[in-house]
Chains A and B, each alone.
Chain A
Amino acid sequence: MKEAYLKVKNLTKHFPISNSLFRRTGFVHAVNQVSFELYQSETLGIVGESGSGKSTLGRVIMKLIQPTAGEVIYKGKNIFNEPEATIRRDMQMVFQDPYASLNPRMKVGDAIAEPLLAHHIVTGRKEAREKVCDLLHTVGLQPEMYNNFPHEFSGGQRQRISIARALGMAPKLLVCDEAASALDVSVQAQILNLFNNLKNGMDLTYLFISHDLAVVKYISSRILIMYLGEVMELADTEELFSKPLHPYTQALISAIPEPSTRRRKERILLEGDIPSSINLPEGCKFQSRCFKAMPECVYTHPPLSEVAPQHYVRCLLYPNQAGG
């Protein structure tokens, strides 16, 4: 049995929405009753279309926003009842847009040194400078770049800088939110390899959020598929691709255009648009677009069930097998 590093239990985040008169008119159901365990040293990929709640899930787990309900158990305690400091060093986040998270008027070396000094990881400027040069080297940048400003770097280099900044805290868990998505293909490959090398070298655990299933397949050992704030499927990467069970997962895999001239299996074309997460359907959230929907899907909300060892699916096509 693998050891759970983090336990996410029924995590829910609803954002209130108001009209122009500041009257509350409803809720965006960004994350709904999400539960999973994150294992020590694994890379768990989180995939889903725009608005499915991936970033919100990441931000709640990082304690950057409060959940509406649910718990995240870390070292035996619910992090939402603990002070900020208990998790901040162990968990760091890398975002999509490295430019937005770097101060344009601060030398990148100082930007990396800042949290090190604030958290007393180093004492004094000299030690900070040495540590920063180490970190720059770790992420494949030259230490001489210490004195440069963010605008003097390319997108890929800036992403390396924000990774260096996160690594300075010697985190155990890194939440990467679309951390390679804005990069060009050739640079994306460099950053993905960097993530893999760091993981092996520093025994990191990753939560890797991306809308690109091919990227997630490459980097993850397990994959969690989200749709309208819910977990639709969770399985080992190999298993998910060889035996995708949820119709949404099947459609998603088939929809990815592959750069090869070999004939591929027919594409599953989903009809309609992704519904808004304000007025959620009552039954299965995927029901309005599902190509296998049955009459009961309209009113019965399927539970997430373990249909094979370590393979979870939320779909009425699969009766709960491991539950009994």
Chain B
Amino acid sequence: MPGLLEFNNYSMGFLNDEGQVINMMDNVSFAVQEGRAVGIVGESGCGKSMTTLSIMRLLPNNAVVQGGVINFQGTNLLALSQESMEEIRGKDIAMIFQEPMTSLNPVLSIGFQIGETLQRHQPALSKAEIKEKVIEQLRMVGIPNPEKRYSQFPHQFSGGMRQRVMIAMATICHPKILIADEPTTALDVTIQAQVLDLMSKLKVNGSLMLITHNLGIVVEICDDVVVMYAGRVVESGSMVEIFDHPTHPYTRGLFAAIPTLTHNQDELYTIPGSVPVSTKFLPGCRFAPRCTQAMEHCYTQVPPERELSPSHLVNCWLEFEQRGEG
């Protein structure tokens, strides 16, 4: 089944000082299905934000797309004109950034900023209609006193409230897919819980792509999971498959390295070494130097994609047992 949003063998990199392109994301393929929430997980620098910025066509200036397509409803976003892309951004595809303060304008009222998005995509609405819809939207994301809050400015809102405002702004045009890049990382746990609760209530209305390094949040919200390492997808599938049967050596290491409330270990498992920078990527498996099971050919040849079950793919040279539908 074709997904609502699909990455097919997408590759991108960065220009260095010598004018060469150093590859970062390599042959990335995954799909976000209609009405499902996908979690993209991986450690700092693995390319999570580049994935989202590639969809929005908001990559940094020195970034270069090297190949592949990103299809949205069957249309390659990479081939669209600037105007058509403008049209889609905010309306069909909306995004929430990690730090809400930097994406809100400090000198404009909250109500005006939310209303602006609506006005841009539905120019026929009157001022009064816009205001009414914005207040309704603020109420829906749980802002108390929305009539009063409408005319206040970002600095008058707490971190958790600002994130609610961002969610209100991103969802006011009922986008087909909402992309959230670390939406709760800057928040305290009890406030994070409030925002997660809101997001799981909202998710019924469309697809969601959630970027996080917090595996606990993935369980709360996501139906599917994509695990990235050093610019490549190493494992993907349904959330239950990945969490109950983590298979790639990196995924398994990641799970074992996290202190949790339920596990009582004397010593945490550690993945030796650290994440490589893109100038040091190997031609073969990019995880090989840290992998305890690496074989000689792992260093030189890109690992194949293997299907463990109809809802579970892993990219690794090891032989794994097949499972039925999980």
Q: Which residues of A pack against B, CB within 8 Å?
A: 49-50, 154, 156-157, 184-190, 192-193, 196, 211, 213-215, 217-219, 241, 251-253, 255-261, 267, 269-270, 273-274, 289
State whether the Cβ of B1 lies closer than 8 Å to any Cβ in chain A: no
Q: Is the CB of A255 within 8 A of B259?
A: no
B43 within 8 A of A: yes
With a 10 A CB-CB cut-off, give which of A214, A218, A259 has the most chain B CB atoms.
Answer: A259
Give the size of the chain B interface in residues (CB under 8 angstroms): 43
Q: How far is the CB of A237 from the nearest CB of chain B, in Å?
A: 10
Please pick, from B190, B214, B262, B269, the residue contacting A189 in the complex, using a CB distance under 8 A. B269
A33 to chain B minimum Cβ distance, whole angstroms, is 23
B140 close to chain A: CB less than 8 A: no
Interface residues of B in 259-274 (CB under 8 A from A): 259-262, 265, 267-271, 274
Contact of B244 among A187, A213, A217, A261 (CB under 8 A): A261
B112 → A minimal CB distance (Å): 23
Does the CB pair B268–A218 fall under 8 Å?
yes
Q: Which parts of B202-223 form the interface with A (CB within 8 Å)?
A: 213-220
Q: Are A186 and B262 in contact (CB under 8 A)?
A: no
A190 with B189, Cβ < 8 A, contacts A241-B261, A258-B216, A261-B243 known: no
Interface centre among B194, B197, B213 (most CB of A within 10 A): B194
Given contacts A186-B271, A273-B191, contact A213 B253 (CB under 8 A): no
Query: CA of A211 to CA of B191 in the docked complex: distance in angstroms?
Result: 13
Closest to B266 in A: A196
B300 within 8 A of A: no
Supposing A49-B189, A257-B217 touch, asked if A184 and B240 sit within 8 A by C-beta, the answer is: no
A193-B267, A257-B216 known; A273+B160 contact, CB < 8 A: yes
Given contacts A188-B257, A260-B219, 18 further A-B contacts (CB under 8 A): A157-B274, A185-B257, A189-B271, A190-B270, A192-B268, A213-B189, A213-B261, A217-B261, A255-B193, A257-B196, A257-B219, A258-B261, A259-B215, A259-B216, A259-B243, A261-B240, A269-B193, A273-B161
Bound state CA distance, A255 and B258, in angstroms?
A: 17
B44 at the interface (CB under 8 A from A): yes
| Contact for B259 among A156, A190, A217, A261, CB less than 8 A | A217
> Given the complex, which residues of A lie within 8 Å of B218, measured CB to CB?
259
Q: How far is the CA of A252 from the CA of B215 in the complex (A)?
A: 18
Which residue from chain B places its CB closest to the CB of A218 in the assembled complex?
A: B259
Are the CB atoms of A260 and B262 closer together than 8 Å?
yes
Residue of B nearest to A157 (CB): B274
- Nearest A residue to B46 by beta-carbon distance? A184
**How far apart sit A257 and B218, CA to CA, in the bound complex (Å)?**
9
Q: Which residue of A lies closest to B44 (CB)?
A: A184
For B239, give its contact among A185, A213, A253, A261 (CB under 8 Å): A261
Bound complex: CA of A67 vs CA of B208, how far in Å?
A: 48
Q: Which of A185, A190, A257 contacts B254 (CB 8 A)?
A: A185
CA distance A109 to B268 in the complex (A): 29
Q: Report whether B261 and A256 are in contact in the complex, using a CB–CB cutoff of 8 Å.
A: yes
A257 CB contacts on chain B under 8 angstroms: 192, 196, 214, 216-217, 219-220
Counting CB contacts under 8 A, is B255 at the interface?
yes
B275 at the interface (CB under 8 A from A): yes
Q: B196: nearest residue on chain A (CB-CB)? A: A257
Residue B257 contacts which of A189, A211, A269 (CB distance < 8 angstroms)? A189
What separation, in Å, do the CA atoms of A6 and B255 have in the docked complex?
37
The 8 Å CB contact of A185, one of B189, B194, B213, is B213
Across the A-B interface, give the 8 residue pairs with the lowest CB-CB distance, nearest first. Answer: A257-B216, A259-B215, A218-B259, A189-B257, A49-B188, A255-B193, A189-B268, A184-B43
Seen from chain B, the residues whose Cβ lies within 8 Å of a Cβ on chain A are 43-44, 158, 160-161, 188-194, 196-197, 213-220, 239-240, 243-244, 253-255, 257-262, 265, 267-271, 274-275
On chain B, the residues within 8 Å of A273 by CB distance are 158, 160-161, 191
CA distance A17 to B231 in the complex (A): 47
Contacts of A217 in B (CB 8 A): 259, 261
Do the beta carbons of A270 and B194 come within 8 Å of each other? yes
> Which chain A residue shows the least CB distance to B255?
A259
A190 to B265, CA, bound (A): 14
Residues of B within 8 A of A241 (CB): 261
Query: Which residues from A are CB-within-8-Å of B240?
Result: 261
Least CB distance from B188 to A in Å reads: 4
B267 close to A270 (CB less than 8 A): no
- CB contacts (< 8 Å) of B43 on chain A: these are 184-186
Contact indicator B243/A154 (Cβ below 8 Å): no
Cross-chain pairs A/B with CB under 8 angstroms, 10 sampled: A185-B213, A186-B275, A188-B257, A189-B258, A213-B189, A257-B192, A257-B196, A260-B243, A261-B239, A261-B243
Q: Point out the residues of chain B lying under 8 angstroms from A274, CB to CB.
A: 158, 188, 190-191
Q: For residue B270, which residues in chain A have a CB less than 8 angstroms away from its CB?
A: 186, 189-190, 193
Question: In the complex, what residue of chain B is closest to A276 when comparing beta carbons?
Answer: B158
* A63→B64 CA distance, assembly (Å): 52
**Residues in B neighbouring A261, C-beta threshold 8 A:** 219, 239-240, 243-244
A160 to chain B, nearest CB (A): 11
- By CB atoms of chain B within 10 A, which of A156, A157, A255, A289 has the most? A255
A189 proximity list for chain B (CB < 8 A): 257-259, 268-271
> What residues of chain A lie closer than 8 Å to B158, measured between beta carbons?
273-274
- Using Cβ atoms and an 8 Å threshold, which residues of chain B touch A196? 267
Residues of B within 8 Å of A251, CB to CB, are 190
